[in-house]
Amino acid sequence: MGYSVDFIFFDCYSDTTVLINKFGIRDEEKSNEVEGVIASARYTKWLSAPEVKDFDFAYYKEIHSFLLSVKEVAGFNERF
């Protein structure tokens, strides 16, 4: 299942709804596959991280950046 994004609002490759990624993958299916594998591995690593006491917006961005590191927009909030 792909993303449903407004490609004018987000940073997508031209004429696609594929978010710009660090691998240059423009095929939505392949992008989703690579993102899923990497995010799953990073989630497993994140589970062993020390407990956080302040679950605030800054920490949410840190998690987003860590888990979805393949996307250029991961962890940024300029668009929110």
Q: Where are the domains of the chain?
A: 1-80
Q: What span, in angstroms and rounded, lies between the C-alpha atoms of 10 and 35?
A: 17
Task: Dig out the tokens for 54 from the structure.
Answer: 């302040």
Q: Which contacts qualify for 52-61: CB closer than 8 Å, 24 or more apart?
A: none
pLDDT tens for the chain, 80 residues long, are: 455 555 455 688 888 888 888 899 999 999 999 989 998 998 998 888 877 778 888 888 888 888 877 776 665 555 44
Alpha helix positions (H), 1-80: 28-47, 57-67
Structure pTM? 0.65
Topology classification of domain 1-80 = Fic-like fold (1.10.3290)
Token readout for 72 is: 């250029």
Which tokens in the block code for residue 75? 């962890």
